[in-house]
Structure 1
Amino acid sequence: MDGSHRIVDDPADVTPAWLTEVLRAGGADVEVVGVRFEPVGTGQTAVSYRFHLDLAPGDAGRGPVSVVVKMAGGAPEVRRRLRVAYRNEVGFYRTFAGRARVRVPRCWSAELSDDEYRFTLVLEDAHPARAGNQVDSCTVAQAALAIRNLAGLHAPFWNDDSVTDGTDWPARLDEAGMSFLGKVATSAAAEFTERYRAGLGPRDVDTLLRAAELVAGWGKYTSDRFSLVHGDYRLDNLLFSGDTQVRAVDWQTVEVAFPGRDLAYFLSTALAPAERRAHERALVAAYHQRLVEYGVPDYPVDLCFEDYRRGLLQGPLITMIGAVYASAERTAGADRMFLSMAANACAAIRDLDALALLSA
């Protein structure tokens, strides 16, 4: 099969013969003789299914017994808006996953249509690992695991001007791009704070609106360092096996940007404010230590903590844009998630005086 045959829109098109070809192309010399599937995840921008595989006699142990197949969903106008996200995720697995030290599911196949409206990923099934939950928070041990994993993404591409050589992506916003992002942020903030005003309270509304106003000029404070960043590195996009292993998924927002944005976004939204206040310096130090172990030079831990403060606009930015422009139908569960993330991010911004830092 050429790559176009590995792109599907319907789980019914994932046949034993299709999976046999995909797995063999990915390095597993097995024959799939039967499949069954069920949906997994909530699918904000795509849909995913777990496929249970029956392998031919004699092939047991030579290939996976299940995989996750992720594909595009929705009407053409929805896909048109999301095609950059589709390109990013396929591109990450094809271009960067093998060079990064971040732990991710093994990718058996990653294909994108020429018009970028359709894509299909065949990924390692991390079951029984469980996705984190923004509302429930995570343990401090899980937070430490996640930020050390994050360092494995940032370190290999740290201030590397060749990171995008040979590709016309991922995005790297210039001054004009940041200005446009600022307009998107202020528009999203106006709608988000109106929609959730009762749940936020006046202090958080004020913090969110002021934070959005600073996005356009954010580049002035975040131009000294860059790397490949996830862009949406949060609990719901992490698969935990207890407190010992984690895998990062959903690479649709990957870009070249200030690494402190990923760090701040995760820590400010993953932990309740009291837990974050008690442990954030130690957690930032753990992230920094892993960067050093991976070879990042001349980066003192105090500067790393300053970058954490500088990255704190990422929390309200992604939360508000995600809520306002989501393609999925609004639900009570999603509302609780967005409110939790916004409230936690606002508390961190106030605790660390980020608005004053980024407006000086």
Structure 2
Amino acid sequence: MEVTAVHATPVGSGQMAGSFRLDLTYADAVTGGMPSTVIAKLATGPAEQREFGAGAFRNEVQFYADLAPTVRVPTPRCHASTISPSGAEFVLLLDDLAPAVQGDQITGCTPEQASAVAVAAAGLHAPRWDDDSLLDTEIGFALPTDDDRVLMESVLEPMADIFRARFDLTASESATVDWLVANAGTWLVAPQRHFTLIHGDLRIDNVMFGPDGAVTVIDWQTIVPGQPLRDIAFLLSTSLTVADRRANEDAILADYHRALVGHGISGYTMQECREDYVSALLQAPLIIVFGCAAAQPTERGDRMFRVMLDRATAAIGDLVPDALG
């Protein structure tokens, strides 16, 4: 089917890549079911930023090509993809999910929306639960090693210093960054009772909400094998207001756990789920500090990182005794 014209309109609020709605005009009036619009996602920004993001771009292309068919989380259909040998240039053509709308990280979501995303995440986690084949894929997945710990510790403190210099942090927020730097290396390589494929950046900016409440998870650049509650801890600690998280956290965790059981996971208790959730809270400041360093600075991005850190700090203070002094 020949496309004779394309009109591109920017959409979304991506921090590492750009997305555009492409309105397509076909040579033939009868399109045979071909879409009239698609979303094109591609590398943007200066060359050094695209080179920095090459691994993330490879992850997302690989996810749609090989991993999405193996899980049950709702994702957009991918019509086509390509990536350069360096990984610094890529294009994905994805379903246009309109009239679904992107979540707003700064405003936050409702408890009902957070629960729907957590239940959807169970459809990502359960099919690859403790699946050793994840560690043998061509994407190069592996559980973190001591070399990974050393590398992360070598770059984390300079990134944290940049983060502190960029924002006027409160005493408790500064203590959260200190806690991150002091504990991230040990946390990264600590033995876990379970691992699976995780999104790695599961927050509502990376979710499309349909008019009927249905959710579709997008932005698969940060996939890794890891402790599954890292996704849930990051979601709840950064996407709900502090009051909503405190009032609904246990109920949402129970919804997630029931969804895991519904997908066939057995022998994993609600108490273990809760313990794993608390131990995974370091995911929030880790992604906030690294994400801020990786992304192009924008006014909205700076507001978003501050709001996320404020919410995460409250969650850590509530649930991790003595973490913030």
* TM interval, short-chain normalised: over 0.9
- Measured in 1, the distance between the counterparts of 2:322 and 2:118 equals 24
Q: Could you say what secondary structure the match of 1:51 adopts?
A: strand
Q: CA deviation at 1:321?
A: 1.3
- Measured in 1, the distance between the counterparts of 2:31 and 2:41 equals 25
- Measured in 1, the distance between the counterparts of 2:280 and 2:120 equals 18
1:301-340 to 2 correspondence within 5 Å?
Answer: 301-326=270-295, 328=296, 330-340=297-307
Which of 37, 62, 67 is equivalent to 1:91? 62
Q: Could you say what secondary structure the match of 1:256 adopts?
A: strand
Runs of 4+ displaced beyond 6 Å: none
Query: 1:268: which partner in 2?
Result: 237
What is the total number of aligned residue pairs between the two structures?
Answer: 323
Amino acid at match of 1:271: L
- Measured in 2, the distance between the counterparts of 1:308 and 1:242 equals 30
Query: 1:282: which partner in 2?
Result: 251
Preserved contact between residue 62 and residue 139 of structure 2 (Cα < 8 Å): no
- Measured in 2, the distance between the counterparts of 1:148 and 1:350 equals 26
Whose RCO is larger (CA < 8 A, sep 6+)?
Answer: 2
TM-score for both structures, normalised by structure 1: 0.85
Preserved contact between residue 127 and residue 263 of structure 2 (Cα < 8 Å): yes
* 1:57 to 2:26 alignment: no
- Measured in 2, the distance between the counterparts of 1:84 and 1:355 equals 36
1:76-103, CA deviations, whole angstroms, 9 ceiling, x for partnerless residues? 3322211111110100101100111111
- Measured in 2, the distance between the counterparts of 1:346 and 1:174 equals 28
Q: CA deviation at 1:168?
A: 4.2
Query: 2:214: which partner in 1?
Result: 245
Preserved contact between residue 181 and residue 216 of structure 1 (Cα < 8 Å): yes
Preserved contact between residue 231 and residue 253 of structure 1 (Cα < 8 Å): yes
Query: 2:140: which partner in 1?
Result: 169
Preserved contact between residue 312 and residue 354 of structure 1 (Cα < 8 Å): no
Q: CA deviation at 1:282?
A: 0.6
My pick for the range that moved more, 181-190 or 208-217, is: 181-190
1:49-92, CA deviations, whole angstroms, 9 ceiling, x for partnerless residues? 111123422336x1212100112223433222111111101001
Query: Using a 3 Å threshold, how does the CA distance of structure 1 residues 164 and 340 change in structure 2: closer, same or farther?
Result: same
TM-score for both structures, normalised by structure 2: 0.93
Q: Could you say what secondary structure the match of 1:162 adopts?
A: helix
- Measured in 2, the distance between the counterparts of 1:356 and 1:205 equals 12
- Measured in 2, the distance between the counterparts of 1:352 and 1:222 equals 21
Q: Could you say what secondary structure the match of 1:351 adopts?
A: helix
Amino acid at match of 2:234: Y
Amino acid at match of 1:351: D
Structure 2: segments with no counterpart, 5+ residues: none
Preserved contact between residue 316 and residue 323 of structure 2 (Cα < 8 Å): no
Superposition CA RMSD, Å: 1.9
- Measured in 2, the distance between the counterparts of 1:222 and 1:285 equals 24
Q: CA deviation at 1:343?
A: 0.6
Preserved contact between residue 317 and residue 323 of structure 2 (Cα < 8 Å): no
- Measured in 1, the distance between the counterparts of 2:142 and 2:57 equals 13
Which of 59, 65, 70 is equivalent to 2:41? 70
* 1:209 to 2:209 alignment: no
Q: Could you say what secondary structure the match of 1:53 adopts?
A: strand
Preserved contact between residue 179 and residue 323 of structure 2 (Cα < 8 Å): no
- Measured in 2, the distance between the counterparts of 1:94 and 1:84 equals 15
- Measured in 2, the distance between the counterparts of 1:193 and 1:243 equals 41
Preserved contact between residue 176 and residue 285 of structure 2 (Cα < 8 Å): no
Which of 11, 15, 21 is equivalent to 1:44? 15
- Measured in 2, the distance between the counterparts of 1:112 and 1:297 equals 39
* 1:124 to 2:88 alignment: no
Query: 2:105: which partner in 1?
Result: 134
